[in-house]
Amino acid sequence: MPTRAQYEGVAREVLSPHLTNPSSAWRGFYELLLWYEHGVPHIIDGDKLVGGIWRARAQAVQKAVAAELGCTARDLRKRVDLLLSNTLFSKPPQRQNPLGIGFVAALRVTLEAFSSSDYLFLPEEAIGKSVFRGIREAPRSAPDIVVVKGEREIGVISAKWSIRHDRLKDLKDECNYFKTLMGSLKFYVATNEFDPARLNKLLEDYRIDGVFHVNRRLVVDVAKVDGRLERLRDLSELLSLFAA
């Protein structure tokens, strides 16, 4: 099983050309993690991509992303999903765990690239050791990144490439746990979820301080949800929170 350092090494290699400014970083995330199902980019549960409105939306995403990466829509499939095709894996693994780990790795690499040196972005395994030392058992769904400034924990980031409807409660419980532990703590969610209902469940939770999408423009333009996602923020805005 690859180590966290190996995941971050692959993420750094793929993202590096896109880390010229915060607004272009999302391209690297898509090259690393976007994948195809039923012949289109996987932006929602696979059964919805077979036909209908979500297939059309996925095709629109394909066209937009291809234009950004300078290739044809037909060739986009060859430019993405670089994590799971990497030599880290001797054979194709089940997608769920590597996708989640890869997203966290890419997010840490990107945060470190654009943030002031005053901040540290520590992994989940630091909880109970170098951060939140009083915690013996973190919640079942522990935050993926702990933001530290000086010697103080100032925020946590829960990074979920997609958000299953049955995991929404876990994420909300996680937020509540850490907010109760430290009232001044900021709780952020980073995601590539496209389902407007799931995103809105998070946006409606007053305890969550911000929900950031890898590319807000894509999800809002594609999902066309009549302004329900007006409070959804972009990855570039998350990066700006910790800039010098």
Which long-range contacts (C-beta less than 8 Å, at least 24 apart) are formed by 176-182?
Answer: 176/207, 177/139, 178/139, 178/143, 179/207, 181/132, 181/135, 182/153
**Cα(208)–Cα(187) distance, integer angstroms:** 5
Please answer whether residues 194 and 44 qualify as being in contact, where contact means their C-beta atoms are separated by less than 8 angstroms: yes
**Cα(43)–Cα(99) distance, integer angstroms:** 13
Write the pLDDT tens digit of every residue in 6-30: 999 999 999 999 999 999 999 999 9
Average pLDDT estimate for 50-66 = 95
**Cα(239)–Cα(232) distance, integer angstroms:** 15
Write the pLDDT tens digit of every residue in 125-143: 888 888 888 776 666 556 6
pTM: 0.94
CATH fold for domain 115-244: Rossmann fold (3.40.50)
For residue 156, give the H/E element and its range: strand 152-160
- The confidence score (pLDDT) of residue 221 equals 81
Please answer whether residues 189 and 202 qualify as being in contact, where contact means their C-beta atoms are separated by less than 8 angstroms: yes
